[in-house]
Amino acid sequence: EFLEYLINRKLMALEAREKGYAEKTDVKIKYEWDFDDIVSHDFYKDNIEAKSKVTASDARDYYNKNKSDFVEVKAQHILIKNKDLAKSIYKKIIGGESFDDLAKKYSEDEVTKSSGGNLGYFTKGMMVKEFEDAAFALGKDQVSEPIKTIYGYHIIKVLDKRQISFEESKDKIINMVQNKKLKNKFDSVLNELKSKYKVLINEDVYKK
């Protein structure tokens, strides 16, 4: 990774020199290393960062195309290690027994047990995949059959499900989309520079 960083910095410094950045800098340069650092940084700001800006309109477009990613669920669960016991408890729930009472009596999740298994609100990416898939597939007040994860068997009840508004998500979306644009632009520019400049690595020097 460090070698890749050195190569990328050198490539940007070479291109910066060609574009006249050496004449632009008003910083007193003492070492070649410092020079490469400064001009490659300036090149990055002008040719990658400045061309990867994300507007509120860009964020709105992303939100509208990915609304299903901006949903949060409030759920409670009962965690049981034994599969047969989990099935038995599920039957009790379907038969009309209180989810809260059964969670307090049987759940092996010591953190949520006393609150009836209440997990509060969570969004996608916060739970293990099997749990997440099951929870987001349920409607309000629906209960899942026992779902196996690395922790055991979960019986999940969805208490609420709501769409997160654009305004609540805007800052997060802008950061996420901008990071993606920066990476794509950086990769694109570096690929162009690698085609333009021949990279040779002196393995003997590098190993030292």
Domains of the chain, each with CATH number or no CATH: 2-61+170-207 (no CATH), 71-163 (3.10.50.40)
121 in Cβ contact with 94 (< 8 Å):
no
Q: Please state, in angstroms and rounded to a whole number, the distance separating the CA atoms of residues 190 and 8.
A: 7
Instruction: Tell me which H or E stretch contains 46.
Output: none
| Per-residue pLDDT, 14 | 82
Tokens at residue 118, please?
A: 């209440």
Q: Please state, in angstroms and rounded to a whole number, the distance separating the CA atoms of residues 160 and 117.
A: 14
- Say what the pTM is: 0.68
155 in Cβ contact with 77 (< 8 Å):
yes
Sign of the CA dihedral with 5 first, then 9, 15, and 16 last: positive
CB atoms within 10 A of CB 169: 19
**Each residue's pLDDT tens digit in the chain (208 positions)?**
777 877 788 888 888 878 877 676 555 554 455 777 877 888 888 889 998 889 989 999 999 999 989 999 999 999 999 999 999 999 999 999 999 999 999 999 999 999 999 999 999 999 999 999 999 999 999 999 999 999 999 999 999 999 999 999 999 999 999 999 999 999 999 898 888 887 777 666 555 5
| Per-residue pLDDT, 208 | 55
Measure CA of the first residue to CA of the last residue in the chain; give whole Å: 16
Q: Provide the H-helix boundaries in the chain.
A: 2-18, 21-24, 32-44, 56-65, 83-94, 99-106, 129-137, 166-196, 203-207
